[in-house]
Structure 1
Amino acid sequence: MASIEVRTSGPVFDGRADRALVAYCHDASEEIAEYAETLVLSELGHVLRHPTGYYESRVETERVSTDTSRVHDSGVVYGPWLEGVGSRNSPVTRFAGYSHWRRMKQLVQGQAPAMAGRILQRHLPGMR
């Protein structure tokens, strides 16, 4: 009869890897959302012709869950009109909208993988 003894140790077994992974997911979603908010606000600074500051003040980042953040305009009633998806946009009126949310979303989606990779590098030591 043979017996085998197995000993487990290290970050996977003592919980350090799990904690580092949770911290990574939190940081990645938060930093990417904050970047998206900055881009949207910057774009609004370029496209709005008569800014009052109200719409920009309503753009915010909100944590939806542990690993998900969302950037939105707090439901400002004329937000869809500014974006160009409202019922009062072209062809009803000449204003087609700025498409600022759609364009910034595409930009962030293109840059998010590289950003997430850089953020991961900060958390890898905790997984080793």
Structure 2
Amino acid sequence: MADVDVTLTGPLFDGRADKVVDSAVDEAAEALAEVGRDAVRAVIGRKAKRSTGRFASRTRVDRRGDVFRTHTPGLRYGAWLEGTSRRNQRSTFKGHRPYREAAQEVQARLPQVADQVIGQAIKEIG
């Protein structure tokens, strides 16, 4: 009877591909969070008639563990601008919805960002 030995080599089998994929996932998540941040700033810039720039300038991307998030810390009127506070229910101002529109922009750009990051990862893996 004949024996056959199979040796598996290369980036898929030695751990290099795992590192590249992990890095690509982080890169894509951060890029999408930045898309969200930029979209929030654009919505406020486009819709707010008398903006001081404070909300847009404080909107940022942070990382907590494996999660990147776009948020505006330290501003109590964020819910009001979004249109989700109790004050919006009683007033004619129903909000600019910057985070809702930003989420839609992130969804729309996700395939493009993923294609770009995955393409780069494939080149790195070889």
Contact 2:24-2:117 within 8 A present in 1 as well: yes
Q: Which residue pairs with 1:78 in the alignment? A: 77
Q: Percent identity?
A: 33
CA distance in 2: counterparts of 1:127 and 1:64, whole angstroms: 28
Tell me which residue corresponds to 1:17: 17
Contact kept? 1:11, 1:126, Cα under 8 Å: no
TM-score, L = length of structure 1: 0.89
CA contact (8 A) 2:80 2:88 kept: yes
Residues 2-22 of structure 1: CA deviation (Å, up to 9, x unaligned):
433221201011111011101
> Aligned with 1:61: secondary structure?
strand
CA offsets per residue over residues 23-71 of structure 1, 9 Å max, x none?
11111111111121111111111111222222222210011334x3110
The match for 1:121 is 119
Q: After the TM superposition, which of the residue ranges 96-105 and 46-55 deviates more from structure 2?
A: 46-55
Confirm or deny that 1:99 pairs with 2:97.
yes
TM-score (norm 2): 0.90
Partners of 1:74 and 1:99 in 2: CA distance: 17
Matched-pair contact (CA < 8 Å) for 1:36–1:71: yes
- RMSD, matched Cα: 1.5
> Mind listing any 5+ residue stretches in structure 2 that lack a counterpart?
none
1:18-57 to 2 correspondences below 5 Å:
18-57=18-57
Give, in whole Å, the separation in 2 of the partners of 1:64 and 1:112. 21
Q: CA deviation at 1:73?
A: 0.9
Equivalent residue pairs, number: 126
Structure 1 unaligned segments of length 5 or more: list them: none
